[in-house]
Amino acid sequence: MDNIDLASEAVKAMANSYSPYSQFKVGAAILTEAGNIYSGCNVENISFGLTICAERNAIVQAVAAEGPGMKLKEVVVTNHNEEGVSGACSPCGACRQFMLEFSDQDTKVTYPGENGNVETTAEKLLPNSFRF
């Protein structure tokens, strides 16, 4: 799988975002070590603490399908606001920790930055994270 396939899946998932409070749609697509693609979108709640991010939504679907041994190979995130404009938006701290739970040091993460897409690893996104 290449990044273009995952980006397309992230855009498709973003279209289903439930974001009536922020009008900020986010989509994510992941590739697992098993070669499967899963996608998710953000789902807001009026009680903002109950909102689930697109990245965690996709990862939860992967674990449900592949089981607790699921490992991430790559994560791609996309977004746009109510005008359809994409903006810089890195994964939040909760998503970074969640990604690391199912990653190794080489898991690739791509997200919109101020000057185009940023490509990094889950490990670099959250140094000194909680790890077993």
Question: 125: phi > 0 → left, psi -120 to 50 → alpha, else beta; which?
Answer: alpha
Residue closest to 57 by CA, chosen among 22, 23, 88, 13: 13
Active site annotation includes 82 = no
Token pair in block for residue 38 = 């899963």
Contact 91, 53 (CB under 8 A): yes
Token pair in block for residue 79 = 């977004």
Question: In residues, how long is the chain?
Answer: 132
Please identify which of the residues 9, 44, 55, 74 carries the catalytic annotation: 55
Residue carrying the six token digits 């679907």: 61
By annotation, the residues acting in catalysis are: 55
